Structure 1
Amino acid sequence: MIFPSVFTIFITVLFVKNSFQDDKTTNEIDSPDDVTVHINELIKIISNVTNDDSSSLCEKCELVIEDLIKFRKNGANRASVVKYLSKLCIPIMKFLPSACQVLSEIETDAIIYIIDNKDVKPQEVCGVYFQYLGCVNPYAKEWKIKIPGKKNSSDKVIYSESEEPLKIVQITDVHYDPLYKPGSNAVCDLPLCCEGRNGIPSDPENAAGLFGDYRVCDMPKNAIINLLKEIKTSQNKIDYVYFTGDIIAHKNWETSKQTNMETIEEFYDLLFTYLGNLTVYPILGNHEAHPCNL
């Protein structure tokens, strides 16, 4: 894979920009370019960047983002942007055309809004998303945080040794897949496998496990139940539960507000059923929203 989804990159920039501007009227006309030819030419340009290092990845990212921005600003309407993203998704993300089409439909409105309402630059986008790989955002603002000096020893709070420390359980990133089916194909042609629709593999080694699978699969319900039972039975005393988000499976191209809410409610019902009246302090993960990350 050359680099992750342009959709995620743009959404990341949406949150690091420091202000919103008024909506602009978009130019809803068909793009003058044939999208398929356009994407094929872009892929050729990207392929000519041959250095296999972080600078190469940064350059490829900037080429794609710059082209997408120009494509929209040159008059591409929503349908053309959807087609553009879908065609680009197939060779870069290695998704099936059907998954790319739906994912593009879900993410296009946010991307159009950012392009139309923000002075976003390719180096800024790629520098934010690929900072960990050495890409630089030349427009980044330097934050200076004043750190207070050391406290005097007399300011220290002394706790009684007789007080029993709190016992807190943290649960995170369950990524529950309601469609997970043990024995189904764990090596499929979709970005997420181990579901009944993936069929039964011809090679038994590729069958999804009973309590999950280390390949491209999310967590089954029985694994979550087993986890909660183990927490309840193995711990003598639990004061609180910290749940730090990400209930929804990694099927960004199939989410909806309704299905996300149903899965979230089902998961919290399981917490109540198996952990009883324990106090749970939850937060939302980036996958709870629809579209993902928004």
Structure 2
Amino acid sequence: MDLDFCELLNVTFVKVSVDIISVIKMSNRMTGGFKFLLIVVVFGSLCASVHGQCDDAAFESLENVGEEIALENKFFRYNASSTSVAHHSSCTLCYLLSITAQRIYFCNRSQEQLSYLINGLCVFLRIYNSRICQGIVSVYKDEVLYVVGQLLLSPKQLCAVLIENCGEAYNPFKANWTVALPDVPKPPVQPRQQPKPDQPVLRVLHLADIHFDPQYAQGSEADCNDPLCCHKNSTKKSMKVKQAAGRWGTAGLCDLPIKTMILLFEHLQDEAEFDYVIWTGDLPPHNVWNQTRNGQLHAYEYLLQLFNEYLPNKLIFSALGNHESAPADSFPPHFKTLPNKYSISWLYNALAEGWSATVDPEQKEAVQDSIKRRASYVVEVKPEELQKAENEGAKVHIIGHIPPGHETCLKEWSRNYNIIAQRYENVIRAQFFGHTHSDSFTVSYDRSGSDVRPSNVMFVAPSVTTFAYCLPAYRIYTIDGVHENSTWEVLDIETYILNVTEANQTGERPKHYNRVDEECGKSCRKARLCELLSSNSAAYATCIHKPVVKL
């Protein structure tokens, strides 16, 4: 059947104009970069009709995908659940956007032409309002189009990386690669020993995903259609506010007010007892369409100011979150051929200076060199360092932002991380992560022998921000302390929350954070069991949705 791609897309629009909007709404929590690429899909079909044809033969694969969508109705075929619809549609959209984005790039259209049309389609499809559409296009266009021009992956390979169970392989970069471990046999597993009650302990503060928002406005709309609410422009002035943003924060699509962030540090200074701090990243708010490099640096400098003012004598161990960069999620590697305008050194240089001030003076130069030369948003766990620790009888704690096994972490990377963690389970005593905004933990299992055996645990801290629909929280771990034969194990976990909803109702200044110590019913117990039995997000999702069988 000989159909022009633009005609095919027009037919699809007429048939599913309502459905495309609903499917895009389902993916409302996508980061700005991926939403920008989503818009490029539709724009690419107009490239030929608005600006004239490029080489037709070069876009044969694009027409084949468009024909498949129109003829087989694979784009919006409703299955049993909205989840399956969203996944199938996102997968097909990904194929389209990958081919079309390349088409746009090689058409040599100007940045102004691309921005104008993409912004118009973003508004037309009601993905966001014009203000946010324009912001997303402005922030992401340069890097997205540069990456498209350098991309060596096929559309299906790219989509395999971006979307679970979509495409040819989970990881096209040597899909089944396995990390090389030192040629040293794994020693016998050491039984976990409980320390004596009178042994010294360490108390460790874990702050995750602060996401403080300087633009938070009390009384503004908290129930808006934007990705982030509680701003003065979250609703039109002519419209009545449906849900007013509270004084101390709002458990919804809102980030943390500055005053509540300061309240947290005042509380930590006066009431919380701990020896050192773990901060696992994500400081700026979720307004990814309105962020600049200077803005990200100012947020980081403000956090350091609070640490210096309220916790001046505490050691701070930090990890980088995916929101620290501008644009968010953009951490280019140190390629020699990378143009300077895309370099991430502006962030790493600031981190090197700030982080080195929180460590021992003798380690300052080494920390700065490590960050400037080797830092990138690619988590690297070096088996050689763990082997050195094993040789010396030392123990190790690992901190990071995105927990391995999470849906936003490449599967092959997670698998190889697990290989390392299994090999060095005698060395790795604890692993601390954030990113999910939820209070949880994950148990990993050793399946190499005849019996499946739990081998290590990852502790995932809740967020300080209220985004999305959370209460501000932090954790304190009690760890086996400094003494001979210390295990350095986590002995206890305390989670503290600030009930901003209650504080907003009373109108008074919240007095303290409350320790979470509530009953666990059937659904809670099932969730806890699934956490124990699952080593990644897919396994947990399968477990949690299984019907309960009464015995």
Would you call these one fold, judging by a TM-score over 0.5?
yes
Is 1:58 the counterpart of 2:78? The answer is: no
1:126 aligns with: 159
Task: Report the CA distance between 1:92 and its aligned residue.
Answer: 5.9
Partner of 2:432: none
Are the aligned partners of 2:135 and 2:289 in contact in 1 as well (CA < 8 Å)?
A: yes
Structure-2 change in CA distance of 1:60 and 1:33 (3 Å) = same
Distance 1:73 1:259, change over 3 A: same
Change (3 A) 1:10 1:183: closer
- 3-state DSSP of counterpart to 1:179: coil
Residue 248 of structure 2, aligned match among 196, 201, 211:
211
The structure richer in strand per residue is 2
Letter in 1 for 2:322: N
The answer to whether the 8 A contact 2:105-2:148 is kept is yes
1:137 and 1:223 map into 2 onto residues whose CA distance is 46
Aligned to 1:73: 106
Q: Rate the CA distance shift 1:33–1:277 in 2: closer, same or farther, 3 A.
A: farther
Which segment is superposed worse, 264-273 or 169-178? 264-273
CA separation of 1:234/1:137 partners in 2, compared to 1, >3 Å: closer, same or farther? farther
Give the percent of matched residue pairs that are identical in Structure 1 and Structure 2: 23
1:136 aligns with 2:167: yes
| Residue 252 of structure 1: aligned partner | 288
1:99 to 132, 135, 158: 132
**How many correspondences in the alignment?**
265
CA contact (8 A) 1:6 1:65 kept: no
Superposition map of 1:15-94 within 5 A: 33-34=49-50, 48=73, 49-52=75-78, 53=84, 54-90=87-123, 94=127
Structure 1's unaligned 5+ residue stretches are: 12-30, 36-41
Q: CA RMSD in A?
A: 3.4
Moved more, 276-285 or 188-197: 188-197
Q: Tell me what 1:171 maps to.
A: 207
d(CA) in 1 for partners of 2:221, 2:67: 34
SS at match of 2:277: strand
Distance 1:149 1:230, change over 3 A: farther
Alpha-carbon distance in structure 2 between the residues aligned to 1:65 and 1:88: 17
Which among 141, 145, 163 is matched to residue 112 of structure 1? 145
Q: TM-score, normalised by structure 1?
A: 0.76
What whole-Å deviation, never above 9, does each CA across 1:87-135 have from its counterpart, x for those lacking one?
443356721122212211221111221122222322222221211xx22
The change in CA–CA distance for 1:93 and 1:226 in structure 2 (over 3 A counts) is farther
The secondary structure found in structure 2 opposite 1:206 is coil
Q: Which of residues 259, 265, 270 in structure 2 aligns to 1:222?
A: 259
- Where 1:241 maps in the other structure, the secondary structure is strand
1:231 deviates by: 2.9
Distance 1:149 1:189 in 2: 56
Q: Do structure 1's residue 283 and structure 2's residue 300 form an aligned pair?
A: no
CA-to-partner distance for each residue in 1:192-237, whole Å, 9 max, x for gaps? 221234478735x50001221122211101221222233333333x
- Code of the aligned partner of 1:122: P
Q: Provide the rounded CA distance (Å) in 1 between the counterparts of 2:258 and 2:115.
A: 34
Give how far 1:45 is off: 9.2
Alpha-carbon distance in structure 1 between the residues aligned to 2:92 and 2:254? 32
| Partner SS for 1:281 | strand
CA distance in structure 1 between the partners assigned to 2:32 and 2:99 by the alignment? 11
Report the AA paired with residue 177 of structure 2.
W
Q: Given that residues 32 and 288 in structure 2 are in contact (C-alpha distance below 8 angstroms), is that contact kept between their aligned partners in structure 1?
A: no
SS of the residue corresponding to residue 166 of structure 1 reads strand
1:84 Cα deviation from its structure 2 partner: 4.2
- 1:282 is aligned with what amino acid? S
TM-score, scaled to structure 2: 0.43
The equivalent of 1:23 in structure 2 is: none
Greater RCO (Cα-Cα under 8 Å, separation 6 or more): 1
Are residues 267 and 46 of structure 1, via their aligned partners in 2, closer, same or farther at CA, if it must alter by over 3 Å? farther
Contact 2:222/2:229 (<8 A) preserved: yes
- 1:5 and 1:270 mapped to 2: Cα distance? 28
